[in-house]
Amino acid sequence: MKRRHSLAGIAAVAVLLAACGANDKPAGGQAGGDVKKGGTLYLLSDSPTQQYDPARSSSLVVTGLQFVHRRLTSWKVAPGQDTTIVPDLATDTGKPSDGGKTWTFTLKDNQKYSDGSTIKSADIKWGLERSYAPAFAGGLAYHKDLLSPGLTYKGPFEGGQELSTIETPDDKTIIFKLARPYGDWNWVASTPAFAPVPKGKGAEANYGEHPIASGPYQIDKFERGKTAEFSRNPHWDGKTDETRPANPDKVIWQFSQQTNVISKRLIDDTGEDKNAFGISFASPAQLAQIQSNQSAKSRLVTSESGALAYLALNTLRGKLTDVNVRKAFQYAVNKAAYQVASAGNAQLACDAATTLVTPGIAGREQFDLYPSKPEGDPAKAKELLAAAGNPNGLEGLVLVTRAENNWPKLAESVQSSLAASGIKATIKPMDEETFTAEVQNKPNPDYDLALVSWQPDIPSANANIQPLFQSTEIGGGGYNTARYNNADVDRLITEAQATVDQKEAAKKWAELDKKILADSPVVPLIYTRNSYLHGSKVGNVQIGRFPAYADYRQFGIIQ
Amino acid sequence: MRAVKFVAGRFAGMVLVLLIVSFITFVVFYVLPSEPAQLACGRPCSPQALELAREFMGYNVPWYQQYFDFIGGIFGGRTFGTGQAAIVCSAPCFGYDFQNNADVLDEILSRVEVSVSVAIGAAIIWLITGVGLGVVSALKRGTPLDRITMAVAMAGVSMPAYLAGMLGITIFAFGLDVVPKNGYVPIGEDVAQWAWHLVTPWLVLAFLHAAIYARLTRGQMLETLGEDFIRTARAKGLTERKVVGRHALRNVLLPVVTVFGVDLGLLLAGTVITERIFSMPGVGMLLVDSIRSLNLPILLGVTLFAALAVTLVNFLVDLFYGVLDPRARLT
């Protein structure tokens, strides 16, 4: 639920702030001229800090954590292309065996930390073990239950216990024995916890402020609320790293910047701000200002699509337990009105969504089970409601939304479009924390409808579907906000997760996408787009088809 | 003896105020539907992982037990977790910030220099200009100078801090390009740069506050100048400077100092909007960031710190009354 640069989860407030970007359609998501090695890159952030402890970080592969840490695998991101998995510290993207239950990785030769010591397979294991210690929880945890079912393992700091499901027969080999077959394990191996931490180190709570670097940069200075400064890691070997060109000599991250001031600095484009990139999404209000400035407009980069914004229907509540009633919502919602509420103009907004799997994910199939105009089809909705025994529509539904930013406005657009189909809903705005508690934690929450969005953590349909629709994700901190519980879908999710052949897995996920939507637990609204502004000397600012975030690793300074 | 009793009484009052504030804040933050362990749970977050996070952070016990643990931590410190990676928060432990891995007290104290720098500089400027302009305005009542001063003061009183801050940065930093755009340089690093980076926040804050003080001083001064003792002073043949400076101003300053105590106390606890606009990493910015990231331990800590700052400054103001008014002197 974090906004800022946790960059994933229910991609909360800011994703929709910049939803669909009130600007022209993106032209390939790339900007900037030729870059050369050298110079200082400035990253301007409204966030007070950044987490550089690999166990505790939930950053995506394209963001700043990658300056400091390498992992077993990485992502190859290019504009207009699906993101692919590539080796990072490992020689390949992993060898599955035992039907996908065992995965073996081999480390490349002579890879070193910033202190000159060699990176060993035991360090990857130690980093993962460390992530189980309660003091270092909070990051992406896709590996946890697969390596320690039921979370019986509590980390290496209490009694020196090791995780028996990870084997390191020599310094370069690491073998994972999973609890069940898992085809996306090589994607999971690209998440932050798979970064090496020298065995025995990292017991201190603030390790993230001075981690030992395996990536191209090391942290020279870290001040929460102010700055993080990076210089080159002298022992990093670029020849072994195919995803990090590491162009700038220095990177300076400026925290806690006011968003309007960031925009103004970048629009003005003077002095060191020419070398700066704005990490915060450009909001619709800022975009209007940028549109009127030719120079700034040329330095704006927008993603093709992004997080899935959707209306969750609480499938355990009242009339919404009836699938035929839920289907009426697919026609009742006016997606064009939602686009206008997000971007001010439907022409400027991204396309209306009809699938659960977001664009840019390999194997995604485009389909529409409930074809209608983006404006919806109130007549059809009324017809379906009547057929389901509700000739007078529905009354007294509760629509929960966050109270911050433009969420209430978005909720109003949904509310009025539902009203046109005879569905009367009351909007219940909540602050972020209460909203999270309501939709994620309460066993019996008081809502019928919830307005949310989701950005998967890895470019796999698995990360799109499993967290939102598996019954194990209902309550207790899970993201199944529709409270969707279908034993058949649960079984098929486990089956698709176990499929090692990616083409075969993609087919299964596409089928699941359709199968779940046939039960109509959610109404897909739009695939939100993100826009970023940067200075005139920053080059290689590119956004791939996934994720909807610029790939910081590629940035360089135009000399 | 009377002074000792007064100090002891005020100190006990301060402790009581802080206890009440801590209790109310705790209840508000922890009893409302919320799940502070959510962020520490990771993603995906299973019910078991959530419970482990709650246990580690001490949220797995009833709220009143959590409150007693909190109060106990202030006197005896606290330890979260066990083994080599256990987090030790030494007394006085005002909570632990699990998001940033820092002792709440340390985190607040590390920001105090910034907030104090902003507050004291601005306070000096607004006190001198606000009181000065108020006195001059009162003495020149009805003249163009009085009218202009009061019109500007009205603008200052009416203007939201956010707008004043953005105007200040737009005009002086982006437009005229004579001051830094934002940021803070510690006084120990470079005194000149410290002051230079603070000029615009000082002026903005001083403008907003001076306006209030000018209006307040003017009103008080006009009232005081009509009092009998001023007529007596004038009748005794004292110069106008002595009448105003020694007799009138002393009376005028009593209510001004009272308001100043509250304002300075709040400012020392962080100028939320000003620090945010000028990217000054002070206590105010810490508060804003904590609200955005739902960092409850920090929110609780900053609230207590603010209460302490206000009560402490007001205590000092009470002592200062004696300097201004012999009747209020403690012996």
Determine, yes or no, domain membership for A524. Answer: yes
Q: Provide the pLDDT confidence category of residue A195 given band limits of 50, 70 and 90.
A: very high
Same domain, A182 and A167: yes
> Cα separations (Å) of A499 from A86, A99, A509, B67, B325?
19, 8, 10, 49, 85
Q: Kind and range of the H or E element at A358?
A: none
Cβ contacts of A472 on chain B, cutoff 8 Å = 46
Q: To the nearest whole number, what is the mean pLDDT of chain B?
A: 88
User: What is the structure's pLDDT at A482?
Assistant: 97
pLDDT at residue A26, as a whole number:
41
Average pLDDT score over residue span A257-280 = 92
Distances (CA, A) of B167 to A45, A130, B115, B202: 22, 49, 21, 13
Contacts of B102 in chain A (CB under 8 A): 206, 224
Instruction: Report, as an integer, the average pLDDT of B41-57.
Output: 88
How many CA atoms, within 13 angstroms, populate the side-chain half-sphere of residue B96?
25
Domains identified in chain A, total number: 3
Query: Distance between CA atoms of B76 and B70, rounded to whole angstroms?
Result: 10
Residue A367 in contact with residue A354, Cβ under 8 Å?
A: yes
Nearest to B53 among A49, A134, A434 (CB): A134
Q: In chain A, which residues have their Cβ closer than 8 Å to the Cβ of B83?
A: 133, 155, 157-159
Tens digits of residue pLDDT in A13-52 = 333 333 333 333 443 344 555 899 999 999 999 888 899 9
**pLDDT tens by residue, B63-99:** 899 999 999 999 999 999 888 889 999 999 999 998 8
A474 plus A359 within the same structural domain: yes
Q: What is the mean pLDDT of residues A529-548?
A: 92
| A285 belongs to a structural domain | yes
Size of interface A-B (CB pairs under 8 A): 164
Instruction: Assess whether pLDDT exceeds 60 at residue B26.
Output: yes
> Mind listing the pLDDT tens digit for each residue in A507-522?
999 999 999 999 999 9
Fold of B105-329: MetI-like fold (1.10.3720)
- Answer left, alpha or beta for residue A458, where phi above 0 means left and psi between -120 and 50 means alpha: beta
How far is C-alpha A228 from the chain's CA centre? 23
The pLDDT value given to residue A6 = 35
Q: What is the mean pLDDT of residues A162-178?
A: 97
Chain B nearest-CA distance from A135, in A, is 7
Q: Would you say residue A8 lies in a domain?
A: no
pLDDT (tens digit per residue) in A460-474? 999 999 999 999 999
Tell me what pLDDT residue A2 has.
32
Helix (H, G, I), strand (E, B) or coil at B40: helix
Query: Token digits for B331?
Result: 């012996």
Q: Is the pLDDT of residue A356 over 60?
A: yes
Quote the mean pLDDT of chain A: 90
Asked whether residue A180 falls in the same domain as residue A91, the answer is: yes
Residue B254 CB neighbours (<10 A): 15
Domain of residue A485 covers 307-528
Query: Is residue A490 within 8 Å of residue A470, measured between CB atoms?
Result: yes
Structure tokens at B310: 């206000």
Residue B81, min C-alpha distance to chain A (Å):
7
Instruction: Copy the structure tokens of residue A298.
Output: 């040329």
* Structure tokens given for B162: 């956010």
Whole-angstrom distance, CA of residue A215 vs CA of residue A112: 9
Report residue B259's pLDDT band, with 50, 70 and 90 as the boundaries: confident
Q: Is the pLDDT of residue A177 over 90?
A: yes
Q: Measured between CA atoms, how close is A7 to chain B, in angstroms?
A: 12
Residue A60 has pLDDT above 80, yes or no: yes
Q: What is the pLDDT of residues A286-339, one digit of tens each?
A: 777 888 899 999 999 988 888 999 999 999 999 999 999 999 999 999 999 998
Whether the model pTM is above 0.90: no
- pLDDT per residue as tens digits for the range A71-112: 999 999 998 888 899 999 999 999 999 999 999 999 999 899
Give the CATH number for residue A215: 3.40.190.10
* More confident call, B16 vs A559: B16
Strands A102-106 and A173-177: antiparallel
Same domain, A323 and A451: yes
**What per-residue confidence (pLDDT) applies to B276?**
87
CA distance B155 to A28: 48
User: What does the pLDDT read at residue A237?
Assistant: 94
Q: Whole-angstrom Cα distance, residue A488 to residue A502? A: 21
Residues of B in contact with A150 (CB under 8 A): 48
pLDDT for position A25: 41
Q: Which band of pLDDT confidence, cut at 50, 70 and 90, is reported for residue A251?
A: very high
Query: Are A327 and A465 in a shared domain?
Result: yes
Separation CA A403–CA A408 (nearest Å): 6
- Closest by Cβ to B85, choosing from A157, A472, A478: A157
Q: Which of A209, A244, A276 is the last residue of a domain?
A: A209
Of A266, A213, A211, nearest to A68 by C-alpha is: A213
Looking at residue A373, which CATH number applies to its domain? 3.10.105.10
The residue ranges of every structural domain in chain B are 1-102, 105-329
For residue B137, give both structure tokens: 């305005």
Query: What was the pLDDT predicted at B328?
Result: 62
User: Which chain B residues contact residue A60 at CB under 8 A?
Assistant: none
**pLDDT exceeds cutoff 90 at A130:** yes
pLDDT at B325 over 80: no
> Residue A446's pLDDT is what?
92
Query: Over the stretch B163-208, which tens digit does the pLDDT of each residue have?
Result: 999 999 999 998 888 888 888 999 999 999 999 999 999 999 999 9
A487 and A342, same domain (yes or no) = yes
Residue A28 has a pLDDT of 38
Within a domain: A70? yes
DSSP B66-95: HHHHHHHHHHH-EEES-STT-EEE-SS---
- A17 assigned to some structural domain: no
